[in-house]
A = this chain, B = another copy of it.
Amino acid sequence: MSLIVQKFGGSSVQDAKHLRNVAGLIAETYLEGNDVIVVLSAQGDTTDGLIEKACEINPGASKREMDMLLSTGEQISVALCAMALEGMGLPCVSLTAWQAGIQSTSVHGDARIKKIDTERVRGELDQHRIVLVTGFQGLNRRGDITTLGRGGSDTSAVALAAAFQADLCQIFTDVDGVYTADPRIVPTARKLEEITYDEMLELASQGAQILHNRSVELAKKFRVNLEVLSSLERKSGTHVKEVTKKVEKTNIAGVARDVSIARVALVGLEHNPGVAFQVFHLLSKHNINVDVILQSIGREDTKDISFTVHKKDLADTVAVLEEHKDTLRFDHITADEHIGKVSVVGVGLMSNSGVAAKIFEALYEAGINIQMISTSEIRVSVLLDEEDVNRAVRAIHDKFFGEV
């Protein structure tokens, strides 16, 4: 007998029909003799509906009250799903995060799970009940309900899997696994049977929308055996784990794209030491995340610094920098929203210099111009014109996987 944690997202529980499907999947796992903990998100657009209600009342509502409001969404999901399981004659119980002992940090809207008090859930499992827990939330030291921020339900599932030393943590989504590239862009993309935590992390942060980073980090930390699979088809998905067997000739796990970024350049910075630090310290103080950074020698003893930010942060970034123009001493700022990033991810990628060459070759053959390059231990990213992004993904994917 195993203990399995199963997580279903908002679209998987959006209405009675979908909830019955989810209940069927849970029932199968339970009837095979497993202990089952289920984590659910709020139904479909429930959260958006609640946010709309809040905005109508007070667009500047406190995050504490937003959490109080939004946490009802998952509570509705778990209660309804429990009712569906009851209808199938299965013993079950729905629990809010506080009932399930999920303790979080105090910050509202973006709390972290600190600790899980396992007593209540353990007691329910001992009674052979399927335990349904609200995802995305916790209880802070003050006794207030918190929410975990984006991807929070994945994190709840992984944290529960870690706390209960589950044999498997299944994240059900509307795709059937992790692909070598987005199948909507690259029709020949193939599903991966396995991927390492690190590769998944790079893919996640490089724009693959399957698993949220925080949940993968947590899974890595506690060696949680993760599986990403579809709630609509009964077939195995992609396993995320520490070490994978590489059956393929290449070390590439996949090709990811990100078109939600913008490029900012500070042109004509004076050559004073520490100016780069000043710039990025300033942006960090304003909660602006910076990704690819490039520093180059400009004309006449000045230099330029280019970097990318999320598109939504572009206006703030420019405003903050302009405000400190006198201190930072640059000539002017340029900004470009029409760029995109393509990343190739794979364990041991950087130890194989042939990989980078192969990427550049693919892009050269496709006639695509590279604006900036950034690399990590297991990733190579290139910055391109936004309109070249999809073509670049196909070209690179073909270069690595095309021959198979």
Contacts and interface: CB of A to CB of B under 8 A. Distances in A.
Contact of A76 (B50, B56, B79, B144): B50
Interface string A98-110: 1100000000000
30 contacts: A16-B53, A16-B56, A16-B57, A53-B80, A57-B80, A57-B83, A57-B84, A57-B87, A58-B83, A58-B84, A58-B86, A58-B87, A61-B83, A61-B87, A62-B82, A64-B93, A65-B79, A65-B82, A65-B83, A65-B86, A65-B94, A68-B96, A69-B76, A69-B79, A69-B80, A71-B75, A72-B72, A75-B75, A96-B145, A99-B143
A58 B50 CA distance: 25
B86 A61 contact: yes
A75 B68 contact: yes
A66 B79 CA distance: 7
A87 B64 CA distance: 14
Contacts of A144: 99
Contacts of A79: 54, 65-66, 68-69, 72
Interface of A: 16, 19-20, 50, 53-54, 56-58, 60-62, 64-66, 68-69, 71-72, 75-76, 78-80, 82-84, 86-87, 93-94, 96, 98-99, 120, 143-145
Given A50-B76, A69-B76, 6 more contacts: A20-B57, A53-B76, A64-B93, A68-B82, A68-B96, A69-B79
A13 to B, nearest CB: 11
A40 to B, nearest CB: 12
A42 B74 CA distance: 17
A83 B67 CA distance: 11
Contacts of A71: 75
A338 B87 CA distance: 38
Looking at A61, A64, A66, A69, which has the most chain B CB atoms within 10 Å of its CB? A69
Nearest to A64: B93
**Copies of this polypeptide in the complex:** 2
A86 B62 contact: yes
Which A-B residue pairs are the 9 nearest by beta carbons? A69-B79, A58-B87, A72-B72, A61-B83, A68-B79, A58-B83, A16-B56, A65-B82, A57-B83
Contacts of A87: 57-58, 60-61
Contacts of A66: 79
A76 B65 CA distance: 10
A159 B99 CA distance: 24
A84 B84 CA distance: 36
A78 B60 CA distance: 16
A145 to B, nearest CB: 8
Nearest to A99: B143
Contacts of A50: 76
Nearest to A73: B72
Contacts of A61: 82-83, 86-87
Given A68-B75, A69-B76, A75-B68, A83 B99 contact: no
Nearest to A16: B56
B68 A78 contact: yes
A50 to B, nearest CB: 7
Nearest to A75: B72
A403 to B, nearest CB: 50
B94 A57 contact: no
Nearest to A19: B57
A98 B82 CA distance: 21
Looking at A56, A65, A79, which has the most chain B CB atoms within 10 Å of its CB? A79
A17 to B, nearest CB: 9
A86 B143 CA distance: 20
Contacts of A20: 57
Contacts of A94: 65, 68
A69 B64 CA distance: 22
